[in-house]
Amino acid sequence: MGMMSELLERLRNAGVPLDEEIAEAMEDVEPSIFTDFNLEPFWHDRPVPFQFTSNGATRTISAPHMIVTLLHHLEIQEGQHTLIVGSKGGYLAALVDSIVGPSGAITIIEPHDEVRLHTEERLEFYPSSSLVRVLRPVDLESNDEMDRAVDRVLITGAVRTVPLGIDHLVQDGGFILGPFGGPVHQRLTKKERQGDNWYDTDLGGVVFGPMDVGESERGALDPESLADHIEDALNLVGGLIEIEEDTVARVCDLVQSLREMPDDLPSLDEDSTEEDVMEHPVVDLLMSEIEWLGPLWPFFSEFLAIELESPGAPEVEIGDFFGGHEDLVP
């Protein structure tokens, strides 16, 4: 039995919904086409990188259990047109291609130039049976490019709302599937179009990396990113424990102060001294609020501790070289 067959068997035994056509697609498509990185994490049901961007963002092929889950909820049928927002290196598109067949079509929207180039290059080595295109977001505005109604939309990174220009492409009865929420926690949501109305189905909590690669490339002390994380953490923790109104107000004020910081703050790198760090405006702001923020931080840390789920991993794991990344399930 090959590595993929063993992985799929473990996923079945763990109760992950594995449809026959998805299993066949996983067997047919070789993931090594889409990444040059070691596939050992993949066989242990972990995400595997396919690219490090020039600005330091890591882009991954999702963990197999998440891939299977997304494809299961996508309910793809032969001949359909599927729009994938965020390429995942082209691997997901290849799997969808195996399911929709020659009469189907796949359109990938990839906003990041480096990732889009990687995806185009790798798909050249994949013998697709359907029409597979890799486009920029701006191409959605072209009637020539989008000349066929979309049956399914799969969003592969965290978003707060449906990306602009997507919803009007979905035909009646079609739907959008993706992780909706902030940077800390999202809900996997199916948004189905019925006439002029949209109906949401909550499919559970997930944690994905941001759809916008630029968010992954921000530094740890980027005030906008930090504000997003604190705001998302407050919403998550506030739903689990009672937080005093005065403390909530203070957190909201801190978030607002972070958002109002200028864009040209000094950057920090590995050569920055401790003095550089302590004098950074973001650190200075946080330290000024430490009296009330300090006691609250352990609660944030406890509730935001997310362990990587790998239901398809062998019983004996190989150390902890995998690390945490997107596609996490709390």
Assigned CATH topology for domain 3-207: Rossmann fold (3.40.50)
Residue 217, pLDDT score = 53
pLDDT in tens, 309-326: 677 778 755 444 343 344
Round to whole Å and give the CA distance between 283 and 76: 48
Q: Would you state the structure tokens that stand for residue 227, as one six-digit string?
A: 């504000």
Q: Where in the chain is the domain with CATH 3.40.50.150?
A: 3-207
The count of other CB atoms within 10 Å of the CB of residue 161 is 8
Kindly give the pairing relationship between strand 186-194 and strand 197-206. Answer: antiparallel
Query: Is the pTM for the entire model greater than 0.95?
Result: no
pLDDT in tens, 167-181: 999 999 999 999 998
Is 162 a residue whose pLDDT tops 90?
A: yes
Q: Would you state the structure tokens that stand for residue 214, as one six-digit string?
A: 């630029």
Q: Would you state the structure tokens that stand for residue 305, as one six-digit string?
A: 């501790």
Query: What is the rounded average pLDDT of the residues 244-269?
Result: 85
Q: At 200, which amino acid appears?
A: D
Kindly give the pairing relationship between strand 150-155 and strand 131-135. Answer: unpaired
DSSP, collapsed to helix, strand or coil, labels residue 227 as helix
Query: What is the rounded average pLDDT of the residues 65-83?
Result: 96
pLDDT in tens, 27-68: 999 999 999 999 999 999 999 999 988 877 788 999 999 999
Alpha carbon distances (Å) from 114 to 60, 84, 87, 160: 13, 17, 11, 24
* Residues 91, 31 contacting (CB under 8 angstroms): yes
Mean of per-residue pLDDT scores for the chain: 85
